[in-house]
Structure 1
Amino acid sequence: MTTFNPMPELAPQLKQLRLSGILDSLESRNRQAIEGKLAYTEFLAMLIGDEVARRENKKFDMRLRRAQFRTTKTLEQFDFERVPTLNRALLQDLAAGRYIHENAPVLIVGPSGVGKSHLAQALGHCAVRQGVDVTFTTCTALTQSLNAARATGIYDRKIGALARVGLLIIDDFGLKPLRAPADEDLHDLIAERYERAPTIVTSNLDFEEWDQAFATNRLLASATIDRLRHNAYCLELDGRSYRDPKVAPAPKKAADRAPKTAAK
């Protein structure tokens, strides 16, 4: 009796339907179905489940690449012992995506080296897992890219694209003074995203010092910061720096360096 092998015909048909990923698990699932005496519908459900999982993983990897995180920082990697005053309950709530659904800003402040960028990227990583498109950038790089877009005549298109990003993370706000047209560009972007999309901002400046980030235009500073702080979730970090220098071992004493005399 000749056994019919459908694989030569099945493979090109699956590729035509853009279901070629099923081929990766088809043989093992077929063997599992035979050994377990599964119904046809159970066998089909397993194959479809594999294809859905494969596509979700592919989308996740793509969103992760587009986010352009500096490094892959997650909440699991964060050293909470260094920041004992951190509101962990609020952080876990944010990780679950509350601020995303509310289109609310998240403001993270604290001295250098306490983990602001880490937490911002970790929240971004959580958002990627939840299917949100994320863009991570420093404030300097952001304003430079907007200025370059103006020079090439695509400023409105660039602002529009950034306004539509599911989650925008702006790192190191206030690290360098904002002068025209950078201050205006940042204001335009924040105004476009206001109550329409969530934005995470980190800064070394205390909240009451944020207006100092704008070199000259205090009116523009007030309008921008007012939109950022409205309904925002705030995380204040205070602790030991991650960037503590390594301590060199103490030099040996002269007596320790002297050769020992063998006992007689």
Structure 2
Amino acid sequence: MLTHPTHNRLVALGLNGMAKALDEQQRQPDIATLAFEERLALLVDREATERENKRLIARLRFASLRQNAVVEDIDMKAPRGLDKPLFQKLVAGEWIDRHQNLLIIGPTGVGKSWIACALGHKACRDNRSVLYQRLPRLFEALTLARGDGRHARLLRTLARVELLVLDDWGLAPMTAEQQRDLLEMMEDRHGRGSTVVTSQLPVEHWHELIGNPTIADAILDRLVQSPQAHPQGREPTQSRRQASDA
């Protein structure tokens, strides 16, 4: 029989999904009732599924999401002020296609990081590139990268991802170096990618947190200029004005 050499040839060609499906077909006594085209379609479908699963695993590994969260597990009845229709729009992901930003504001314990990671996981499932970073750790990484020549490369990585999640925004005032790094990030991503920010600090205090008024204006203009979603029961905002959609 040609089954064994065909299996080996498929593996050699990198068609592992088809090889597995072929083995499974050979163990099914009624497989002969299917037409050749039907059996071939099953092999191709299995290969496509295997490849997509591998790509998803790679995207999730790169994303490094802090929480193992999925949108299907989010309890909409929990007292965190989530607007269900608005959240469904966020899950759909069109705001990422429009390069809009999302601000998740609220006190400790309401699940800001969980929601952000769940949306990041959904974006990975939708074949989008995602990267999660705690902002304090990111600032540390940028400082180290500046010292060993990797600073520009790290900024390019942050600029290229379709969805960047910045967790724990506003835990401490920013240094002059951190202000400049944040401005570079926002400038690089403006109109090219979406950014999710989680923070305990209300947006109206971010200007003071950043420090330098000129840099703060530039950062907030790029971050808050597009329609935003506020998950604490408020409508989306646009440049601190009310807007109609997320």
Structure 1 position 137 matched with structure 2 position 133: yes
SS in 2 for 1:81: coil
CA deviation vs aligned residue, 1:151-182 (integer Å, no higher than 9, x gap): 11121111111100121000011112111201
TM score, norm. by length of structure 1: 0.83
5+ residue gaps, structure 1? 239-264
State the 4+ residue runs in structure 1 displaced beyond 3 angstroms: 30-36
SS in 1 for 2:133: strand
Which residue is equivalent to 1:228?
A: 223
Structure 1 position 83 matched with structure 2 position 60: no
Amino acid corresponding to residue 115 of structure 2 in structure 1: L
Which residue is equivalent to 2:60?
A: 64
Q: Of the candidates 96, 99, 106, which is equivalent to residue 100 of structure 1?
A: 96
CA distance in 2, matches of 1:165, 1:107: 18
Output aligned runs, 1:80-229, within 5 Å: 80-83=76-79, 85-214=81-210, 216-229=211-224
Give 1:80 shift: 2.5
Q: Of the candidates 39, 46, 69, which is equivalent to residue 50 of structure 1?
A: 46
Contact 1:109–1:204 (CA under 8 A) maintained in structure 2: yes
Contact 1:29–1:46 (CA under 8 A) maintained in structure 2: no
Which residue is equivalent to 1:256?
A: none
CA distance in 2, matches of 1:10, 1:104: 49
Contact 2:7–2:22 (CA under 8 A) maintained in structure 1: no
Contact 2:21–2:42 (CA under 8 A) maintained in structure 1: no
CA distance in 1, matches of 2:45, 2:103: 39
Contact 2:56–2:127 (CA under 8 A) maintained in structure 1: yes
CA distance in 2, matches of 1:20, 1:36: 22
CA distance in 2, matches of 1:7, 1:100: 46
SS in 2 for 1:169: strand
Give 1:72 shift: 0.6
CA deviation vs aligned residue, 1:187-216 (integer Å, no higher than 9, x gap): 1011100010111111111111111221x3
CA distance in 2, matches of 1:33, 1:226: 65
For the pair shown, the structure with the greater C-alpha radius of gyration is 1
Give 1:61 shift: 1.4
Give 1:31 shift: 4.8
CA distance in 2, matches of 1:84, 1:70: 20
Q: Of the candidates 3, 15, 19, which is equivalent to residue 11 of structure 2?
A: 15
CA RMSD of aligned residues (A): 1.7
CA distance in 2, matches of 1:208, 1:189: 21
Structure 1 position 73 matched with structure 2 position 69: yes
Contact 1:176–1:213 (CA under 8 A) maintained in structure 2: yes
SS in 1 for 2:34: coil
Structure 1 position 37 matched with structure 2 position 51: no
CA distance in 2, matches of 1:161, 1:35: 48
